[in-house]
């Protein structure tokens, strides 16, 4: 593995890139080699939650499923936060049961997610994807045990440079999410911001990957 794309909605099948492809229970593609699967807060359907959770639990028992998610909380959508919390907690319980990391979607709800992590005593790694906030929020999340993944906003918002520079090397990942730019472009910018060579960045991500994703199927990487 030369490059690891922590979160993407587009499977590109390149030999030098390991992609953690986001999948949904009802739109599952078995041809994708490595993936995360979860109920995104945008797509919670009340009478389908149990069926979705059953599919997720089945997938979590396979080596190809590296993580649960993306899942989390979003205060800017119409689905009631209380309902989101119930669905999120059920997915966290599955993550704990099967010892899988969690890909977090969070919009304006960092306090709630941190409180739930503490309340449920979550021991598996939790990674906030698509991080775009300020240094204070980043530092607090890291203090509370989260990892942060950067991609779209790192490419789009130059002001995020000063935040990313300060992130400890053992607490971040890189991703493309839904953007058209490649993970290699994200790596190039991240290396520039960190003032290190690409191969040094690759080593950092590789160590973080092995720390978070302890999976026999990934031993060749």
Looking up residue 193, the CATH number of its domain turns out to be 3.20.20.140
Cβ proximity of 118 and 140 under 8 Å:
no
Nearest to 85 by CA among 48, 111, 65, 59: 111
- Known binding-site residue numbers: 70, 105, 129, 177
Structural domain includes residue 41: yes
State the pLDDT at residue 110. 98
Q: What is the rounded distance in angstroms from the CA atom of residue 41 to the CA atom of residue 11?
A: 22
Residue 220 lies in a domain: no
Give domain status of residue 77, yes or no: yes
How many Cα atoms are found within 13 Å in the side-chain-facing hemisphere of 198?
10
* Nearest residue to 150 via CA among 74, 201, 100: 201
Closest C-alpha to 125, from 141, 136, 112: 141
- Indicate whether 93 belongs to any domain: yes
Distance between CA atoms of residues 101 and 158, nearest Å: 29
Residue 221 inside a domain? The answer is: no
Binding residues for a divalent metal cation: 70, 105, 129, 177
Domain count, the chain: 1
Q: Are 55 and 25 in contact (CB under 8 A)?
A: yes
Asked if residue 68 is part of any domain, the answer here is yes
Tell whether 219 is covered by a domain.
Answer: no
Amino acid 195: pLDDT:
97
Its domain, for residue 135, covers: 3-213
Residue-by-residue pLDDT tens, the chain, 221 positions: 799 999 999 999 999 999 999 999 999 999 999 999 999 999 999 999 999 999 999 999 999 999 999 999 999 999 999 999 999 999 999 999 999 999 999 999 999 999 999 999 999 999 999 999 999 999 999 999 999 999 999 999 999 999 999 999 999 999 999 999 999 999 999 999 999 999 999 999 999 999 999 865 565 45
Length of the chain equals: 221
- Grouping H, G, I as helix, E, B as strand and the rest as coil, residue 79 is coil
Q: Is residue 172 part of a domain?
A: yes
Residue 219: the pLDDT is: 57
């Amino acid at each position: 593995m030369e490059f690891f794309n922590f979160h993407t909605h587009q499977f590109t099948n390149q030999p030098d890139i390991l992609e953690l492809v986001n999948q949904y229970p009802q739109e599952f593609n078995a041809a994708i080699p490595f993936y995360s699967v979860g109920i995104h807060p945008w797509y919670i359907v009340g009478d389908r939650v149990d069926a979705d959770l059953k599919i997720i639990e089945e997938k979590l028992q396979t080596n190809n499923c590296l993580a649960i998610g993306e899942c989390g909380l979003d205060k800017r959508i119409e689905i009631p936060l209380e309902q989101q919390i119930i669905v999120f907690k059920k997915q966290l319980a599955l993550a704990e049961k099967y010892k899988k990391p969690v890909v977090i979607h969070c919009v304006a709800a960092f306090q709630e997610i941190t409180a739930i992590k503490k309340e449920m005593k979550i021991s598996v790694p939790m990674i906030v994807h698509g991080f775009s906030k300020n240094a204070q929020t980043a530092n607090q999340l890291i203090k509370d045990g989260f990892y942060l993944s950067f991609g779209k906003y790192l490419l789009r918002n130059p002001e995020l440079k000063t935040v990313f520079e300060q992130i400890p090397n053992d607490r971040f990942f890189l991703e493309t999410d839904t953007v058209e730019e490649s993970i290699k472009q994200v790596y190039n910018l991240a290396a520039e911001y960190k003032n290190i060579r690409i191969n040094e960045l690759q080593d950092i991500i590789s160590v973080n990957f092995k720390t978070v994703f302890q999976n026999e199927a990934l031993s060749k990487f």
